[in-house]
């Protein structure tokens, strides 16, 4: 007897709240993945240590002036294309460790998508700080979650260690930017590849 | 009396025969532009001096090892998506000055699109050198053009000077990579933005 088990196709979504192109994907991925029956595996991580491994002390959009200037025009047009709100952040890249630790803690919770979208809107549509207990608590409270308890857990040794391991895993997988998607072990880099990555989820063959 | 003159919308297409993402756009742009009634202004230029201005002595895909490895996987998938032949070049980036000078000379000729596609196929589908008189002559002869005469003209002082001015113009316009498109003075970078750039050509407003 052969058992045919239907396994839902998955997309690993590596993202950073400080990353402007991650903003586009965070806002788009839940609806886009749902449309093709794909499950999103939320993988928050920190880009800073990855950039440091590559010899950069900040975002390449800061280090490369011409590219940096272009990126803000591109973001404006991309947000218009996707119907997303946009305000160029006054500080870039913003500190993002606390909200990312909370995202890691809640990565399998039903509120993860809405939470990530809310944090991203604060950074890229409202130009607000996101790395404070007050701000993160206020977002969690919007979703009627036990904010201070979740933040304490996010800041616990266990979750800090998990977050560091998450960054090491990103490095080990060859991640060099965000957003990055993995589908069946294959890497897709950038919001511009989200559709291709989703298509790969449901393609026949490995 | 008001005269209404219909001006055909234009896209400036800055490309380099050594650039793998330029390969995708060179192969796609004529058909895509024709479909929306847009005229292509072919703008061949050399990336090397632009990269040097940015402090790089070669392609960032060579300088950044992880990104470089990723790019070849991405190219394979992108070529599959667009139905284009693909073979990873054994040498990257290839020398491309002579065929680019010929492209500049012929940039307003009816054969420019087919010529550029043929040179690109040599580099990215057949893994052949493109910067020799023999190779460029053989391509021009395929199109029944006076090969040696065109090559002599391409190597003339006047055309060399024009080509240097072309690179200076790219730098002055803020070009930092290829392909790059300009529509109504706005810059779009990368093959991933070709469709957006074409859409901007026919949008109402400035």
From first to last of its 206 residues, chain B has per-residue pLDDT tens of 555 667 899 999 999 999 999 999 999 999 999 999 999 999 999 999 999 988 888 888 888 899 999 999 999 999 999 999 999 999 999 999 999 999 999 999 999 999 999 999 999 999 999 999 999 999 999 999 999 999 999 999 999 999 999 999 999 999 999 999 999 999 999 999 999 999 999 987 64
User: Distance between CA atoms of A149 and A155, rounded to whole angstroms?
Assistant: 10
Whether B69 and A174 lie within 8 Å, measured CB to CB: yes
User: Distance between CA atoms of A92 and B192, rounded to whole angstroms?
Assistant: 24
Whether A74 and B186 lie within 8 Å, measured CB to CB: no
Residues of B in contact with A188 (CB under 8 A): 74
Whether A187 and B67 lie within 8 Å, measured CB to CB: no
How much is the pLDDT for A60? 86
Whether A64 and B189 lie within 8 Å, measured CB to CB: no
Confidence tier at A5 by pLDDT (50, 70, 90): low
Residues of B in contact with A190 (CB under 8 A): 192
SS3 content of chain A, % helix, strand, coil (to 5): 55, 10, 35
Does residue A206 register a pLDDT over 60?
no
B123 touches B94 (CB < 8 A): yes
Sequence-distant (≥ 6) Cβ neighbours of residue B71 within 8 angstroms:
B20, B61
Dihedral through CA B18, CA B21, CA B25, CA B26, nearest 10? 20
How much is the pLDDT for A204? 76
Using the Cα atoms of residue B184, residue B52, residue A64 and residue B24 in order, give the sign of their dihedral: positive
Name the token pair of B39.
């005229």
Residues 29-58 of A with CB under 8 A from B: 54
Whether B193 and A81 lie within 8 Å, measured CB to CB: no
How much is the pLDDT for A63? 86
Point out the least confidently predicted range of A5-9, A98-102, B62-66, B109-113: A5-9
How much is the pLDDT for B62? 87
DSSP states of A18-79: T-HHHHHHHHHHHHHHHHTTPEEEEEE--HHHHHHHTT-SS-HHHHSHHHHHHHHHHHHHHH
Average pLDDT, stretch A25-50?
Answer: 97
User: Mind listing the domains of chain A with CATH numbers?
Assistant: 10-202 (3.40.30.10)
Out of A70, A188, A192, whose CB is closest to B187? A70
Whether pTM exceeds 0.90: yes
How much is the pLDDT for A18? 98
What is this model's ipTM?
0.92
The pLDDT > 90 percentage for chain A reads 88
Residues of A in contact with B81 (CB under 8 A): 196
A183 touches A197 (CB < 8 A): yes
Cα-based distances in Å from A23 to A34, A146, B89: 18, 25, 34
Instruction: Count other C-beta atoms under 10 Å from residue A151's C-beta.
Output: 19
Quick one: closest CA in A to B187, which residue?
Answer: A70
How much is the pLDDT for B4? 61
Residues of B in contact with A193 (CB under 8 A): 74
């Amino acid at each position: 007897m052969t058992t045919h088990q239907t396994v839902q196709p998955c997309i690993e979504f590596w993202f950073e709240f400080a990353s402007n192109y991650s903003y586009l994907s965070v806002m788009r991925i839940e609806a886009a993945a749902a449309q093709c029956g794909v499950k999103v595996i939320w993988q928050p991580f920190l880009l800073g240590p990855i950039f440091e491994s590559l010899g950069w002390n900040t975002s390449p959009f800061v280090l490369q002036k011409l590219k940096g200037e272009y990126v803000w025009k591109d973001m404006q047009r991309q947000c218009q294309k996707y119907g997303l709100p946009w305000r160029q952040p006054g500080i870039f890249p913003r500190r993002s460790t606390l909200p990312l630790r909370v995202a890691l803690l809640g990565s399998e919770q039903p509120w993860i998508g809405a939470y990530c979208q809310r944090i991203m809107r604060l950074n890229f549509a409202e130009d607000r700080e996101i790395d404070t207990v007050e701000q993160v608590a206020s977002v969690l409270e919007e979703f009627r979650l036990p904010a201070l308890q979740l933040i304490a857990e996010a800041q616990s040794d266990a979750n800090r260690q998990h977050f560091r391991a998450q960054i090491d895993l990103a490095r080990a997988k060859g991640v060099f930017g965000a957003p990055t998607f993995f589908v069946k072990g294959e890497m897709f880099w950038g919001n511009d590849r989200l559709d291709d990555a989703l298509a790969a989820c449901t393609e026949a063959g490995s």
